[in-house]
Amino acid sequence: MTRLWPILALLAACGTGPARQAAEPEDPGRVACRQEARDGVSTRDFFRRQNFSDANHTARLRQEMAEAEDRAFNDCLRRRGLTQGGGVERVRRPGEV
């Protein structure tokens, strides 16, 4: 039994990791822009066009909606002066519009 104590102590030490730190609260301006992008007219229009009987159509509309929401979010950030223009466009998979 005395030979097991060092092994158990080693295993117990391996199980402990660094303490998690709380995430920093997000900037209120970014939160407002994210909400504005979700509630925007350009993203709400996609829900009206959605055809649930066609999976390909639904997947394509979801992709377009995510892109429109990203554009609206970035436009809001620029309007409020929280970010500068420019950057790199997201890489698109072959066949994406």
3-class secondary structure for 7-67? HHHHHHHHHCCCCCCCCCCCCHHHHHHHHHHHHCHHHHHHHHHCCCCCHHHHHHHHHHHHH
Between CA 92 and CA 28 the distance in angstroms is 30
Helix (H, G, I), strand (E, B) or coil at 3: coil
What residue spans define the domains of the chain? 26-82
Predicted TM-score (pTM) of this structure = 0.59
Average pLDDT across the chain, whole number: 77
Between CA 34 and CA 45 the distance in angstroms is 17
So what's the pLDDT on residue 19?
61
Tell me what the mean pLDDT of segment 45-58 comes to.
77
